Amino acid sequence: MTLKRRLPEALSMSLLTALLTLPVLGVHLQVEGLKVALQGDARPVCIAMTAVFLARLFQEPLKQAYSWLNLGRLLPGPQRLATYRTPLLTLLVGAALIWPFFASRGAVDVATLSLIYVMLGLGLNIVVGYAGLLDLGYVAFYAVGAYSYALLAQNFGLGFWECLPVSVAMTATAGCLLGFPVLRLRGDYLAIVTLGFGEIVYLLLNNLDSLTGGPDGVKNIPKPTFFGLEFAREPSTPGGVTFHRFFGLDYRGGDVVIFLFLLALVLVLFILFVIDRLIRMPIGRAWEALREDELACVSLGLNPTVIKLSAFTLGASFGGFAGAFFAARQGFINPESFTFIESAIVLAIVVLGGMGSQIGVILAAVALTVLPEVARQFQEYRMLAFGLVMILMMIWRPQGLLPASRPRLELPQ
Amino acid sequence: MSTTFLGFIQQVINGLTLGSIYALIAIGYTMVYGIIGMINFAHGEIYMIGSYVGVLVLTALTLLGLQSVPLMLLLTLVVSILVTSAYGWTVERLAYRPLRGSPRLAPLISAIGMSIFLQNYVMLGQGARDISMQPLIAGGWRFGAEGGFQVYLSYMQVLIAVVTVIFMALLTLYISRSRMGRACRACAEDREMANLLGIDTDRVISLTFVLGAALAAVAGVLVGLYYGKINPFIGFVAGIKAFTAAVLGGIGSIPGAMLGGIVLGLTESFASAYLSTQYKDVVAFGLLVLVLLFRPTGLLGKPDVEKV
C-alpha cells in the first residue's frame, strides 16, 4: 500500500536523476582535432536512476533498518573518549617511535606526509575548531612557511634549525597582518576573504619570478641535520661530518627517511603539547566562548578582535611549521603544492575528525592521507569522496567522528 | 581621436562584456544570501555545469544539422537552464535543507563539500582537459581609422549584452510583479514573519536556488560561446569573482549585484590593460578585501544589524 503511494514520487525523482546525470555522465564530449563529437554511454545513467528509484521507493524500510543499525552507537562518545585519551596517546606515540625501523621506506615516507597533514590539521583546528573562524586560505600560511625556509636557505645558506623559528615567526606575522583587517568580518565573509588571500598568495608565488622562481619553484633545499650531522654519503661542505661516520654506522639511504619521520613526530608532539596547554588557558576558553556566542562575549567585556587574532596567528604559525618541514622533506617546492585543494583537504580533515577534537583530527589526517595511498586505483575519486564526506558529515554527524570532550557539570534532578 | 582614448573605449567594451557575465552569476549569490544568509559555494560549479550543457547541446544540434543560429541559441539556453535549474534545486534539497537551523558554519562547509564534489563529478564525466568549440557567431564591427588603432566590437559581445539585459529585465519583472516574487521579497525582509503569514518559505528558498541557477546557466552558455573553451575548473574562480561582485554591490540586493558585476568587470579589464594580465585576479580579490573593510554593506546594500 505504502509502496504504491511512493511510486509516483520515486518515479519523478528517478527522472530528475536522469536529467542531472545525462549531460555529465551519459554523454561524453570527444575532441578530435577541431571537431567535437558526442559519445553516449547509457550505463551510469541507468545505474543512478535505478539506485535513486529503489532508494525512494523503499525509503521507509531503509530508514527503519538504519535506525535499527544505529551506526552512531559504534563510535565512542565524548565522555568515553576522554577516559582513554592518555593511554591511547601513549600507545600511539610508542608504536610510532618503534615502527619506522621495521617498516618499508615507502610506508615511512607516506607516514611522514600524514604527519605533515596532522600538523596542518592541528593548526587549522585552532582557527576553525576552537575559535570557529572558517579559514579557507590556510594553505597561504603553509606556503609562507615553506617558501620562507626555502628562500632563506637558498639565499643566505641557513640550515633547517636556524630557519624554523624564523619561518614560524614570519608566518605568524603574515597571519597577524592578514588577520588584523579581516577579523572584524562576520563568519562567511571571512571565509571568502581568506579564500581570496589564498588565491592571491598562489598568484604571487607563480608570478614573482625573481623572488620565488615562479612556476619552477625553488630547488635544492637542504634537509634537516641531526645536531649538525648531515644525512648523506659524503658531507656537502668540506670538514663536515655525516651521521653514519659520526656513529660509525654503514651508510643507508633509508636513514634520512626515518629521521624525517621521527622529526615530524617530535614537531607534532610539540604542537600537540602547546595546543593542549593553550586551550586550558584563559585565551583558549575565550576562543571557545567566542565561537559559541560572540555577542555574549562582547557583553562580558572580552575583546573579540584580540581573541580572534591570537587564534588566527597561532593557527597560521603552526601552518608555517608544517610548511617549513614540508619544504625540508621535499627538497623542492613549487606553487602547485599550495592550491585551494590543499586548504580543502585540511578543512576536510578538521571536519571529519571533529572540530575542536585533537585525537579526532590526528586520526582523520592519518586516514585521509593513508587511505588514498592504499587505494591507488581509486585516485581519481579521492576529491569526489572528500566533497561527499564533508556534506554527509555536516548532515549526519556535524560534531565529527570523534567529537571534542568538554568538561561539564550537571545538576542532579 | 587619439589611440589612448580608443584603447580606453576598447577596455570599456571588454569590461562591460565580462561584467555582464559576473552580474548574471552574482545574482544567484545575492538572492540566496538575501533569503537564507549563506554563501552558496557551489554556485560557481552550477555555472560551470551550465556551460558544459551548453556546449553539449550546441554540439548535438550541429551534428543534427541545424542551420539557424537564433534557433540553436534559443534551444541551447532552454536546455541549459532546465538542467542547471534541476541542479540548483537538488543541491539545495540534498546539501542545505537538512542543515537549516544548524550553526552557521555547517551549511558553509556542506556547500564547500558540494562545490568540490560537483567539480570532480564533471571532471570524471567529461575529463579534466579543455574543451574547445567552433565559434557559433563570428565577426564584428571595427571603428577607427584604417591602419591605426581600431576598436573592435564583436557580435558576440553585443549578444552577451543583449541577452544579459533581457534576462535581468525578466528577473526584475518577476520579482517585482509576480506572486512568488512578492513572497521572495517578503522572505528576504523577514523569513520567520513571512512563514507565519502563510508563505511557504521552503518553496521560496527552492525558487531562489532555481532562479540563481538559471541565470548562471545563461552566463555559462554565453561564456562558452565567447571564449570557445571550457574546463571543469572555470567555476571556481568565476564563483569567487561573482561573489566579489555581489559583495561589491551590496549582498542581498539584486540591482546591487548587477552594478557590482559591471564595476568588477570594468576594474578587471582596466587592470589587465594598464597593470598586467597576471595580476588581474589579484586586483579583483584585493578589491573584495577593500570593500569588505571599508564598506561591508557594499554600494547599494542596507546595513545589517545583528539581533540577539
CB contact under 8 A, A203 and B278: yes
Min Cα–Cα distance to chain B from A86, Å:
30
CB contact under 8 A, B104 and A188: yes
Cβ–Cβ under 8 Å, residues A315 and A123: yes
Percent share of chain B, pLDDT over 90: 41
Cell numbers of B107, please?
Answer: 551549511
pLDDT category at B87 given cuts 50, 70, 90 is very high
Please give the single-letter amino acid code of residue A304.
Answer: P
Q: Which residue has the higher pLDDT, A99 or B262?
A: B262
A138-164 pLDDT, tens digit per residue, is: 999 999 999 999 999 888 888 888 889
Task: State the average pLDDT for chain A.
Answer: 83
A-proximal residues of B, 83-122, CB under 8 Å: 83, 86-87, 90, 94-95, 98-99, 102-110, 112-122
pLDDT category at B90 given cuts 50, 70, 90 is very high
pLDDT category at A99 given cuts 50, 70, 90 is confident
The interface predicted TM-score of the complex, written ipTM, equals: 0.84
For A376-383, what is the mean pLDDT? 80
Closest residue on chain A to B48 (Cα): A24
Query: Which of B56, B90, B114 is opposite residue A20, by nearest beta carbon?
Result: B90
Q: With the CA atoms of B26, B28, B30 and B34 taken in that order, what torsion angle do they form, in degrees rounded to the nearest 10?
A: 180
**Which pLDDT does position A100 carry in this prediction?**
82
For A239, the 3-state DSSP assignment is coil
pLDDT category at A120 given cuts 50, 70, 90 is very high
CB contact under 8 A, A199 and B281: yes
Percent share of chain A, pLDDT over 90: 17
CB contact under 8 A, B288 and A187: no
For B229-254, what is the mean pLDDT? 87
**Which pLDDT does position A405 carry in this prediction?**
64
Percent share of chain A, pLDDT over 70: 90
**Which pLDDT does position B68 carry in this prediction?**
85
CB contact under 8 A, A20 and B296: no
Q: Which fold has domain A83-396?
A: ABC transporter involved in vitamin B12 uptake, BtuC (1.10.3470)
Query: Which of A25, A196, A391 is opposite residue B113, by nearest beta carbon?
Result: A391
pTM of the predicted model as reported, rounded to 2 decimal places: 0.87
CB contact under 8 A, A136 and B296: no
**Which pLDDT does position B307 carry in this prediction?**
47
Number of H helices and E strands in chain B, helices first, is: 11, 4
B191-231 pLDDT, tens digit per residue, is: 889 999 999 999 999 999 999 999 999 999 999 989 888 88
Interface residue A196 vs chain B (CB under 8 A): yes
Min Cα–Cα distance to chain B from A395, Å:
6
| Of A59-73, B17-31, B277-291, minimum mean pLDDT range | A59-73
Chain B environment of A195 (Cβ under 8 Å): 240
d(CA A368, CA B155): 50
Residue A332 above 50 pLDDT? yes
Segments making up each domain of chain A, as ranges: 3-69, 83-396
- Highest mean pLDDT (candidates B14-18, B61-65, B108-112): B14-18
d(CA A315, CA A318): 5
For A244, the 3-state DSSP assignment is helix
Chain B environment of A182 (Cβ under 8 Å): 289, 292-293
CA distances from B100 to A21, B29, B43, B222 (A): 26, 17, 18, 34
**DSSP per residue, A256-275:** HHHHHHHHHHHHHHHHHHHH
d(CA A369, CA A110): 8
Residue A78 above 60 pLDDT? no
CB contact under 8 A, B39 and A191: yes
**Which pLDDT does position A147 carry in this prediction?**
93
CB contact under 8 A, B113 and A388: yes
Min Cα–Cα distance to chain A from B2, Å:
33
Cβ–Cβ under 8 Å, residues A348 and B77: no
**Which pLDDT does position A70 carry in this prediction?**
67
